[in-house]
Structure 1
């Protein structure tokens, strides 16, 4: 009998958004190893374009980006068809308690990590979040 909570990682697209190429490559390695498809963006403008064009199942988002910062991206993603995409924040920016609480209050932010983050935490969280997502109509 098929598990209704199971979803095939190969059917899921993860958008990795970070301006640091080495971080993008590390996250790409982790995400691909788990079997997910990936798309990458190096700045906020590219991230918004790819999110709108490709409708990813989840976004791994850095806060400090050129062309649009992470907070602006969060706001923009709430304003259109991308409003239901779950987001995991992964940032190198030091955040005080009030800032991290503010981030966690964003509607689609599922979790928040400061760099460096353990790859196995990201992998487990991707599976947990995507397992609970409804299947896309396509």
Structure 2
């Protein structure tokens, strides 16, 4: 199985660094993005296997970025996990209705987030069509 790539969109540098280290330990390549605009550009150009997206960011929030990701042909099928301090059920429902595949509240257990990532990436791998090799 090829190395998996996760795009981490979060304005908090410490969060990005911690997630990058954690993912590297699991042989997952992390691509950090410090804001939504950069994250969108990287999602288009890098086509990651999954996106971890924070909600609270300057300029555009995570919900706005999620909406753009799901509207664009290049990025619509990339699974997105929202991670945020918002624990309200209304925010969770909003994210899921917009196309997020999961919603994790901060602070989160690092082991749990790695398990979620592995589960979603494995599920997506199973859903890919099998090419006819003759």
TM range (shorter): 0.7 to 0.9
More relative contact order in 1 or in 2 (CA 8 Å, sep 6+)?
1
Rounded to whole Å, the distance in 2 between the matches of 1:87 and 1:126 is 10
1:123 paired to 2:114: yes
Q: Corresponding residue for 2:67?
A: 75
Rounded to whole Å, the distance in 1 between the matches of 2:27 and 2:91 is 33
Please give the TM-score of this superposition, normalised by the length of structure 1. Answer: 0.84
Rounded to whole Å, the distance in 1 between the matches of 2:55 and 2:28 is 23
Q: Corresponding residue for 1:44?
A: 36
Rounded to whole Å, the distance in 1 between the matches of 2:91 and 2:55 is 12
* Equivalent residue runs for 1:8-27 within 5 Å: 8=2, 10=3, 12-27=4-19
1:114 paired to 2:82: no
Any conservation in 1 of the 2:20–2:29 contact (CA below 8 Å)?
no
Rounded to whole Å, the distance in 2 between the matches of 1:102 and 1:72 is 11
Rounded to whole Å, the distance in 2 between the matches of 1:100 and 1:50 is 25
Provide the aligned C-alpha RMSD in A.
1.8
Rounded to whole Å, the distance in 1 between the matches of 2:113 and 2:70 is 23
Which stretch of structure 1 is more off in the superposition, 66-75 or 82-91? 66-75
Deviation at 1:67, TM superposition (A): 2.8
Structure 2 residues without counterparts, runs of 5 or longer: 130-134
Rounded to whole Å, the distance in 1 between the matches of 2:91 and 2:114 is 25
Structure 1 residues without counterparts, runs of 5 or longer: 1-6
